[in-house]
Amino acid sequence: MRILFVLLARFPSEKAYSVTTTNTIMALKKIGHNVEILSPNDSSAFRNGFWGELAFRWCSWALAFKSRFRFLNRWRFYLFLPVWLSVVKSKIRTRNYDLVWSRNLIIPIFLGKNYRTFTELHSLPKSLTQIILRLTGSNSHVLGPISPYLLRQVTGGILSDFESVLAPMAAPKHFFRSTEYENVGSIRKLCYIGRLTSLGVDQGVVHFIESMIEIIKLNEDITLLLIGVSENDFLANSQSKLADFPKNRIKFLPNVKHDEIPNYAYDVDAFVLPYCEKSEFRGRFPIKAIEYAAMGRPIIASDIPSHREVLSDNYVWFYSPCKPESLMSTVARIEMNSFEAKRKIVLAQEFANQFTYEARVQRIIKTLD
């Protein structure tokens, strides 16, 4: 199958969408598909000549533009979009693709009924977007919600007539490590992997780090590793001062490449998934939990509906989010129940084995065939 990936953001990058897209493309190529990528920061996607150069420069400026006022960022996106969509359609007209793969319903809406598309849904589209697709789309469009919650919303709502397939995220194979001889002892080094915010919104990570600062001050044995978080970004979003930091016991590693994460996290005692429930992220698939499970350590997860929907007490240790005392009592429970902790590690890794990129793309392609 000849597949075109159409992106609406800079690629490649170290952002989550870029990492997951790269791994999805590699898995598709591994099982024999011909995949091409169309991204707005790739000059070869644009026509030669004055107008092509102008379009490329405009898209490059729009991608680089950032403002602390979110409405300006949205304004920039909608000015960039018509130019990029015209480039996309021009590209598709000149090639014979079997499938156009994207992560935004704008693409199938723009392409109309004459093209076969697959769209990953990482959040529930706005009602107006769904209505427009319902009016303009056809059975040539297949939707891929990434979580059971989103699948229910799609199959039971405006888009119920469209074919859908559950398309959860995955962990790269090299994240998996043997748990055969793993023993769980004292929990001294906790680790969080991920960004401080998502789409400019705090997911509860700032409060988690603030809580850990207070916990570390009271407990000389506890340390914290933050992979993907910048110290400057945290200070900019927090009430904490630099002087408050137990500097030698909180380590920020903001620039670790995704593929190298297991090399930095090999000696941690437990991973934390500290997110709070927010409407912006309802239904998102907790990909970090799958990566944590693959690396064979206890997982401490905030007890929120998005986590409960995918995870269970068989795999993780739940705690009340935004409550430091609940986090520490959970750590104590793990230490007192080493046999149970070991059992959860094994079951969690067996659960994570279902979520490889190869399994993901095979499930999607089977639906498309």
Let me know whether 247 and 162 are in one domain: no
Residue type (1 letter), 44: S
Q: Provide the pLDDT for residue 281.
A: 66
Alpha-carbon span 235 to 241, nearest angstrom: 7
Query: 219: which 2 tokens?
Result: 């407990």
Which distant-in-sequence residues (6+ apart) come within 8 Å of 236 by Cβ?
none
Do residues 90 and 183 both lie within one domain? no
Contact 64, 40 (CB under 8 A): no
User: Cα Rg for the chain, rounded, in angstroms?
Assistant: 22
Q: Are residues 107 and 93 in the same domain?
A: yes
- Which positions ≥6 away from 190 have C-beta within 8 Å? 212, 222, 223, 224, 225, 268, 269, 270, 271, 272, 300, 331
- CA–CA distance, 332 with 19 (Å, rounded to integer): 35
Strands 2-6 and 201-202: unpaired
Provide the residue type at 73 as one letter.
N
Q: What does the alpha-carbon distance between residue 337 and residue 345 come to, in Å, rounded to a whole number? A: 12
Answer yes or no: do 218 and 133 share one domain: no
Which CATH number belongs to the domain containing residue 303 in this structure?
3.40.50.2000
Q: Is there a single domain that holds both residue 165 and residue 190?
A: no
**Residues 120 and 255 placed together within one structural domain of the fold:** no
Answer yes or no: do 130 and 245 share one domain.
no
Q: How many structural domains is the chain composed of?
A: 2
Same domain, 213 and 100: no
Same domain, 226 and 167: no
Quote the tokens at residue 158. 């405006």
336 CB burial (10 A radius; 0-12, 13-18, 19+)? exposed
Dist. CA 192–CA 187, nearest whole Å: 14
Same domain? For 120 and 53 the reply is yes
**115 and 263 assigned to the same domain:** no
- Residues 198, 159: one domain? no
What is the structure's pLDDT at 100?
A: 95
Confidence at residue 183, expressed as pLDDT on a 0 to 100 scale: 67
Specify the length of the chain in residues: 369
pLDDT-flagged residues of the chain (< 70): 67-74, 179-183, 199, 241-245, 280-281
Q: What is the pLDDT of residue 284?
A: 78
pTM: 0.87
Nearest Cα residue to 348 out of 149, 171, 205: 171
Query: What is the per-residue pLDDT across 279-315, written as a single tens digit (0 to 9) for each?
Result: 766 777 888 999 999 999 999 999 998 899 889 999 9
Tell me which residue range forms the domain holding 160. Answer: 2-171+356-368
